[in-house]
């Protein structure tokens, strides 16, 4: 009996330690810990900030275009996001290793984007940073056209079809970044694995890119190894 009690205590302690490591980047009340970068707000009087809190959720209204960026820099982490398109499906994304603002098209920060666009979730987009995957030519196009700036082939296709839930249902996306590797799961399916990234740390950003998206979970956990 004593052994059973001791085992229960040890499991409880271990569980507590894990939960203490994980922390939500969104407190459910306001956008403390984040800042917006919305180019239109520089010159258009009355332009709205597209990132709001509604009913305990972080919401990207989609327009005007821009990014919600963490104040802090992160490396070696697992990011768990739960999201859904609130109306018409469209485009959005999570950016990791984000740094210099407005580095591409005077809009996108230098980063690696993990795509959330409907039916394309898990694609990589190289934004003035680069990353490699297996079968690069098949998934990125002719090598002579690869690049990380305007006009180049920056998109790297994901590995699966049909991993997303129907529009209106909640999707889970897990992104693990360890040194210069990035692995992505959508609803439990491994959808991408990149390596030899040209960055290994940076801010995390969410996009406003045309479609309204609700986020009910944005949780970060430090890691020292990638999941299988």
In tens, the pLDDT along 98-117 reads 999 999 999 999 999 999 99
Q: Give the strand order in the sheet containing 93-98.
A: 34-37, 66-70, 203-208, 93-98, 111-115, 124-127, 155-156
Query: Where does the pLDDT of residue 87 fall: very low under 50, low under 70, confident under 90, or very high at 90 and above?
Result: confident
Domains of the chain: 24-222 (2.60.120.560)
**Tokens at residue 94, please?**
């999570």
pTM of the complete model beyond 0.85 = yes
pLDDT at 138: 98
């Amino acid at each position: 009996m004593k052994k059973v009690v001791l085992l229960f205590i040890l499991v409880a302690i271990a569980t507590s330690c894990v939960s203490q490591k994980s922390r939500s980047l969104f407190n459910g009340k306001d956008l403390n810990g984040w800042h917006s970068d919305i180019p239109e707000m520089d010159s258009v009087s009355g332009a709205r900030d597209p990132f709001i809190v509604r009913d305990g959720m972080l919401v990207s209204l989609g327009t005007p275009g821009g990014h919600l960026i963490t104040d802090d820099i992160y490396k070696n982490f697992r990011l768990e996001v739960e999201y859904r398109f609130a109306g018409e499906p469209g485009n959005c994304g999570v950016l990791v290793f984000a740094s210099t603002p407005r580095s591409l098209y005077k809009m996108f920060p230098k980063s690696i984007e993990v795509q959330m666009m409907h039916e394309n979730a898990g694609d990589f987009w190289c934004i003035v940073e680069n990353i490699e995957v297996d079968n690069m030519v098949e998934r990125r196009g002719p090598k002579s056209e690869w690049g990380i700036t305007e006009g180049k082939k920056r998109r790297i296709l994901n590995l699966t079809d049909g991993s997303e839930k129907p529009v209106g249902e909640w999707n889970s996306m897990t992104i693990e970044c360890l040194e210069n590797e990035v692995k992505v799961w959508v609803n439990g399916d491994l959808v991408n694995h990149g390596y030899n990234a040209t960055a290994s740390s940076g801010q995390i950003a969410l996009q406003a890119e045309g479609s309204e998206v609700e986020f009910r979970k944005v949780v970060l956990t430090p890691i020292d190894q990638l999941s299988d």
